[in-house]
Structure 1
Amino acid sequence: MKLSGPQAMAQILAEYESGQSGSRSRWDLTFPYDQTAAKFAMATPVITPSWLSFYYPLSGQVWIGVLACTLTVCFTLVKITRRKTWQTRHGVLSTGSVVLESVGTLLGQGLYGRLSTSQSNHILVGTWLFFGVVVGTAYRASLIASLTLPRLPPRPETVEELVKVVDRVTIRSFDGSYKKFFLNSESSAYRELGSMLVGEDVMDGLNAALKMKSAHISSPLNLQLITYRNFSKLDGTSSLYLGKENLLQVSIAWPVPHDAPYTPQIDKWLRIISQAGLYEQWKKETLEAAASESRMKQREEIKQQGQDGAEHSQTNFRSLSIIHMQGPLMLLLVSITLGSVAFVVERLLVSEPHPSPSPGPTRLTFD
């Protein structure tokens, strides 16, 4: 079977590392010109729709504190308005009216002037208004931030986290030495990772990572190049990401025939290139060129789709969608449903008073 360049090199290095078939007597390695690591790539987590979008700006403790303060203020105002000496011109207010006044001021609504005019009421209402301004401002600012810059779900970054969330891990079929290395590791996480490894092409492995619980292992440069060229978006984001942890650190060298006369010259030039930072500069320029080429390609595709497609692609990620607003909409729907049920129950249980017949005209008699 005819092997490609990378496959042939991988086979030579595998034979050299294992020492089989007298490979060490036939092959040497040049000066290691670079240090690289194996990383895994996975699908970037997306924000799942949730009806609790209006709840996230404040923590659970803050919500409990606000609820406790609201109940305390409502109870105190009810007690104040029930005292005869502190009643308003409207008489004794019902508990529902006091709750509407308290919650309305917390939500930024004005007072209706139906509360008591006593000094104790003024102090309590003034403090409550100040509390409502602080809490309302903090909530609105946090809500805007959570809607426009949402927090992404947690994503695996280490080997321990990776093996817990994936069902399989793909790797190039000619990188079989990685599987052997992981299976012989003293770490249980690496042994579990080795048992999940499946040989597959890079593009097939990355496409599988987008469709199922899978990840792909390769060198960072290779993964970044393919991601920029095939999985990047116009706004600079990508549907794939690279884990932070290095699975293993390896040195890169070229295999050469044993005792080749040109090996010292190759080592000399590789040292010069490595020490001058030319290889690192080449990697940087290669990634930048791949990213720029991908953006230009996407812009050309948008131009072919027409002006409407361009405007949509530029503003789609800036506008709020139904996912952001489904929390308040669901709350409104539930409130309307409860109000309708309460209205029907009141109509069924409370009968309307029938108007009494008006007395007839009084006839005046004179003796």
Structure 2
Amino acid sequence: MLLSHLFHQARQMRMESWCVRVVVVSHDPVFLATFAEWSLKGRLLVWATKLLVVTSLPLPQLHALLSSHWTFSMMNTILLNLEDTPPNLRVSVYTHLPYSPEGAQVVRVASWTPKRGLFIVSKVPLFHEKFSNFYSAKVNVTAEPFPPFWDEVKGPDNTTQYSGTDYMTLATIADALQGPTPTTVGLMGKGSSPTHVSQRSYVVGVGSRAAMWHNMLLHRLERFDYSWVYEYGSLDFSMAQPGIKPQWQSLYYPLTDVVWAAVLLALLLTPVVLLLIIRVGEQRQSANTIPAGVVVQDVAGMLVGQNLPRRLPRTSSSRILVATWLFFAVIMGSAYCGNLTASLTLPKFPPRAETVEQLVTTAERITMPPPGGEFKKFFLQSDSPIYKKLGELMYVIPTVDIGQQEAIERKQAHLENRRYQQLNIARKYTQADRTAMLYIGRESLLTGQAGWPIPHDAPYRPVLDRSLMAIIEAGLYEKWNRDLLFQAQLEAHQRLQQEGAEETDSDNKDRSLTITHLQGAFMLLLLGLCLAGLTFVVEFFSVLTSPPLNI
């Protein structure tokens, strides 16, 4: 307990000061090994903290001590070893280099004697930058297939190659830290990191945490640290593109309500005015009376493009009115036909859900792959009624493919990372005309800072962060993502082009008008047939019941 308290106080001092030097003096290798373990457990040291160990050990024990403990081998540590006793006192300075042209080794960098003082015996400085060059060493990295960040592709001779934005980021960093030959990066598959290997054996990725972005959460910081924030992880929803529903009002939509009301008013007023003109003319000329129903029928017929009737009077006033009505009918008919053609061939799709509030009111079911159960519990505990309703609609499914396929077939949504969904839609849910069957909502459900998981107080973090910062600020990460998305769209389009017959059939279907477009016309025809049949029945029975004419 005393040692733990001591390390806690020392760590607090280190965190409050920008320049800390730690000196440990002991001739007991057991104590030094215990110090190395407790300093690691108590998070005493970071790379900026310089550790000086003063001891007197035989060279075999010294080499074993420096090589077997993270604190001495990887941190910014030098060891002063008293090798003789007065009057032949000599002190040698050693350090451990995890990466060098000769591999991991213990190097004697300086020596001190009372006569000569301190003199350097190696090209390596006392506190050497150990991670500026990896010298082609193999570096363990935990990798998990998760496109577009990490992906496995087949190479020549059935070899497995890797791609993805995070892989290319790590490969670029490896090239920047290379020696005479490029640095070899050892990739571990999902869940393949052995449980008996310490998490500090992996430079990037801790245990089952792969070397790709992970959202920074407080409970995760207790187990591992993060690199510099280079990505903003988001949780977004995808849904099927809304389709056109069969509507009999398709013949009504080309004109607005006000225009239809104005046409109806004109159709009511024009026969009245024309009938007044006709009646005045009949009284002056004592001509035969034209029934009012005939006048209304003729005016309506001219509006829909029927022949000009010859039974109307030939007075100048009636001709002016008829000419005006014909001009009005031509304009309205042309406008209606043009807008009707446009609305049938270029239909207006219904609005789609873009926000979380619209999502919970539109979707009947929301799916998410593991770990969707954690998010469901998180949403159900929310004080927001919108997110609480979201949690009630959530269901966990095995894979993203099942969720997106169900989103197309049913009225539901799927939750996953935005970049991942964009790539999956481009690969599997894009039609031959390059239109996507799914869309991603504009508003994200959750957003958070993300970085690579690395061991606590990793000494190579400053080098890693500088490299990540250079890649992000140069725009390479976004460019790689756009290139991968474009490549996926291109490959999907080429695959669909090879299916010539199916592509031709789909193109023909796209160019043809369906019953969805023309449902209103058929319903109008059916209504007219019913009305004509009813009129025929009424006329037939009226003829049967009326008395015969006496000639």
* Correspondence for 1:189: 386
1:83 maps to which of 280, 299, 308: 280
- What's the C-alpha RMSD, in Å, of the aligned pairs? 2.9
TM-score by length of 2: 0.58
* Correspondence for 1:312: 505
**Contact residue 30 and residue 256 of structure 1 kept, 8 A:** yes
* Correspondence for 1:116: 313
**Contact residue 432 and residue 503 of structure 2 kept, 8 A:** no
1:262 maps to which of 455, 460, 467: 460
Which secondary structure does the structure 1 equivalent of 2:479 belong to?
Answer: helix
d(CA) in 1 for partners of 2:285, 2:305 = 23
* Correspondence for 1:144: 341
**Contact residue 236 and residue 444 of structure 2 kept, 8 A:** yes
d(CA) in 1 for partners of 2:216, 2:351 = 41
* Correspondence for 2:428: 230
Q: 1:88 to 1:30 in 2, by over 3 A?
A: farther
TM-score by length of 1: 0.84
Deviation string, structure 1 residues 121-141 (Cα, Å, up to 9, x no partner)? 233223222322222222112
Give the % identical residues.
Answer: 39
In the TM superposition, what is the alpha-carbon distance from 1:40 to its structure 2 partner?
A: 0.6
* Correspondence for 1:73: 270
In the TM superposition, what is the alpha-carbon distance from 1:92 to its structure 2 partner?
A: 2.4
Which secondary structure does the structure 2 equivalent of 1:32 belong to?
Answer: coil
2:442 maps to which of 222, 231, 244: 244
**Contact residue 87 and residue 116 of structure 1 kept, 8 A:** no
* Correspondence for 2:217: 17
Q: Does 1:174 align with 2:371?
A: yes
Which secondary structure does the structure 2 equivalent of 1:41 belong to?
Answer: strand
* Correspondence for 2:474: 276
Structure 2: stretches of 5+ with no match in the other structure = 1-142, 147-189, 191-207
Q: Does 1:290 align with 2:488?
A: yes
* Aligned amino acid, residue 298 of structure 2: E
In the TM superposition, what is the alpha-carbon distance from 1:355 to its structure 2 partner?
A: 8.3
2:357 maps to which of 150, 160, 165: 160
* Correspondence for 2:296: 99
Which secondary structure does the structure 1 equivalent of 2:511 belong to?
Answer: coil
Bigger Rg, structure 1 or 2: 2
1:329 maps to which of 499, 509, 522: 522
Q: 1:310 to 1:165 in 2, by over 3 A?
A: closer
Greater mean alpha carbon deviation, residues 46-55 or residues 195-204: 195-204
In the TM superposition, what is the alpha-carbon distance from 1:277 to its structure 2 partner?
A: 0.5
Larger relative contact order, structure 1 or 2 (CA cutoff 8 Å, min sep 6): 1
* Correspondence for 1:361: none
Which secondary structure does the structure 2 equivalent of 1:241 belong to?
Answer: strand
* Aligned amino acid, residue 498 of structure 2: E
In the TM superposition, what is the alpha-carbon distance from 1:331 to its structure 2 partner?
A: 1.2
- Higher helix residue share: 1
**Contact residue 33 and residue 252 of structure 1 kept, 8 A:** yes
Which secondary structure does the structure 2 equivalent of 1:58 belong to?
Answer: coil
**Contact residue 267 and residue 300 of structure 2 kept, 8 A:** yes
Greater mean alpha carbon deviation, residues 156-165 or residues 35-44: 35-44
* Correspondence for 1:360: none
**Contact residue 30 and residue 255 of structure 1 kept, 8 A:** yes
- Higher strand residue share: 2
* Correspondence for 2:25: none
**Contact residue 167 and residue 214 of structure 1 kept, 8 A:** yes
Q: 1:290 to 1:13 in 2, by over 3 A?
A: closer
